[in-house]
Amino acid sequence: MASRRTFLKALAGVGVAVVVPAGVLAGWVYAGAGRSNLGTLSFHNPLRIPPLLDPVAGGDDRKRFELTLQEGQSEFLPGTRTATWGANGPYLGPTVRVSRGERVELAVTNQLPETTTLHWHGMHLPAEMDGGPHQPIEPGQTWRPRWTVDQPATTLWYHPHLHRTTARHVYRGVAGLFLIDDPATDALPLPAEYGVDDVPLVLQDKKLKDDGTLDTSKMDFNGITVTGLLGDKILVNGTYDPYFELTAERTRFRLLNGSNARIFYIGFVDDREFWQIATDSGLLPEPRRLTRLLLSPGERAEIVVDASPGEELVMRSFPPPLGTNFVHARLAGGDDTFDLLKLVAAGSLRPAEPLPERLAQPTELVPAGEPFRLKMGDFLLNNRTMDPARLDHTVTAGAVETWEIVNSQPIPHNFHIHGCSFQVIDVDGEPPADHQLGVKDTVYVQPYTTVRLAVRFLPYSDPVHPYMFHCHILAHEDAGMMGQFVTVAEPDRAAVASHWGEASHHGHG
């Protein structure tokens, strides 16, 4: 029953952080300044670009990819060795790239010393292929999910998702990008040369001990840090202290917040404007001009940055407006500033075409039926901890529902739903914030607010295999802020009750 004890200890920790008067904590909290790496970098390591994964030969038209999860050694800080995990390499994994309509098979081999899973975050696919907690891969085993790619062009990612160990496995380095192309997006005049003017940026914070090893001491839920582990070293694509040479006037960056808990607020040191062209689930209807972009763990965004020949610019994460009080801001990284990456423009740059005015057809998801309400509080959802044997909700396959997510705590949460895409309808009745626009699968939920989502579920009917929903701050997810639902067509409804028990399909709220 170690897990139960750990969980209760975690709750006790929360109690301390939440109920101790601000003044008492403040002395401790303000003993040091906010975390920052300003002035500590020299931007001398070339940014690593995750290689594109080549498919392997198969007997048919299905595209087959092989990912091997393995242990390795990385050199993050010069002259030190860090024991890390990765896919097909020591840290992070290759970029998988497929097109809409393709039939794919992934062969995921677990050469790690522990059971894990591999989840395709944001992918539209049947729940049995989703790689959540119900699809464990034992050490030495290979898991072979297959599906047909059927969603608009977008930037997705993969990462482990075993219940209670997701934070540790992701932190050690198992994660990678999964890009989807489609003909409509291919036809747009957007920068599209991978690693040249279409560049992935996996943003992660780490805490390293002096000997270079990963500090995992606050890996599990910890009430004092509130969000779990926050690091003071930044890795971009696993590169510490990175620079990237721009060779085009206009460069597209595919940003992934691959951190456990860190919320980034991305901009440039000179406050220049850039464009956002896409969010989690694909292109925005039109490019959006901005100077800052909030990105919480698990979220993606595609941005386009213009540079002139010879110019140098530094991408920075500014103190994020988390909507917390000052104590929780400090605890959750709200006062922290980090340089992320220096961009160095070559002396002559490939000229850019003007950005298209229209990127994608605007979507408006129109929900029907009763809203599904979830209260995020005490590191539980609707006062319950994740139970893999309990079904929390049943959705009609293909339906659009309203989900109402209430953050009833003074600390940041975000919210991710598998097997769907959603739009934010409103936040406390007001229009969504800039960073909540577009079609998404993960959204920031600031303290004491209610975010209403219009969620379009997938058409797959499966009464047995559930999809997950959870806070994507990984220590919160592991502490039990997760639930599960099935999507079923009408004829399969009876099978839900017979598999999960009578009570299951009434949901709760």
The nearer residue to ligand C2O, 96 or 327, going by C-beta atoms, is 96
The nearer residue to ligand C2O, 251 or 421, going by C-beta atoms, is 421
- Rounded Cα–Cα distance for residues 417 and 422 (Å): 9
- Output the CA angle 297-451-134, nearest 5 degrees: 50
Which residue's structure tokens are 């930044």? Answer: 234
Q: How far is the CB of 494 from ligand C2O (least distance, A)?
A: 28
Which member of 121, 233, 254, 393 binds Cu ion (CB under 5 A)?
A: 121
The answer to whether residue 476 forms part of the interface with Cu ion (CB under 5 A) is yes
Secondary element (H or E) of residue 11: helix 2-19
Q: How far is the CB of 124 from ligand C2O (least distance, A)?
A: 14
H, E, C per residue of 59-128: CCCCEEEEEEEEEEEECCCCCCCEEEEEECCCCECCEEEEECCCEEEEEEEECCCCCECCEEECCCCCHH
Q: Under a CB-based contact definition with an 8 Å cutoff, are residues 25 and 17 in contact?
A: yes
Could you tell which of ligand C2O, Cu ion, none binds residue 330, using a CB distance below 5 to 8 A set by kind?
none
Which residue's structure tokens are 């890009």? Answer: 179
The nearer residue to ligand C2O, 122 or 287, going by C-beta atoms, is 122
> 4 by DSSP, 3-state: which?
helix
- Rounded Cα–Cα distance for residues 250 and 196 (Å): 11
Nearest to ligand C2O by Cβ — which residue?
Answer: 121
The nearer residue to ligand C2O, 240 or 457, going by C-beta atoms, is 457
The answer to whether residue 418 forms part of the interface with Cu ion (CB under 5 A) is yes
The answer to whether residue 471 forms part of the interface with Cu ion (CB under 5 A) is yes
Work out the end-to-end distance of the chain between its first and last CA atoms, rounded to an integer number of angstroms.
28
Q: How far is the CB of 210 from Cu ion (least distance, A)?
A: 30
The structure tokens listed for 356 are 């298209």
Q: How far is the CB of 161 from ligand C2O (least distance, A)?
A: 5
The answer to whether residue 440 forms part of the interface with Cu ion (CB under 5 A) is no
Secondary element (H or E) of residue 484: strand 482-488
Secondary element (H or E) of residue 287: strand 282-290
Could you tell which of Cu ion, ligand C2O, none binds residue 35, using a CB distance below 5 to 8 A set by kind?
none
The nearer residue to ligand C2O, 127 or 406, going by C-beta atoms, is 127
The nearer residue to ligand C2O, 157 or 243, going by C-beta atoms, is 157
Could you tell which of ligand C2O, Cu ion, none binds residue 90, using a CB distance below 5 to 8 A set by kind?
none
Binding site for ligand C2O (CB under 6 A): 119, 121, 159, 161, 298, 416, 418, 468, 470, 472
Could you tell which of Cu ion, ligand C2O, none binds residue 282, using a CB distance below 5 to 8 A set by kind?
none
One-letter amino acid identity for 62? R
The nearer residue to ligand C2O, 161 or 435, going by C-beta atoms, is 161
The answer to whether residue 316 forms part of the interface with Cu ion (CB under 5 A) is no
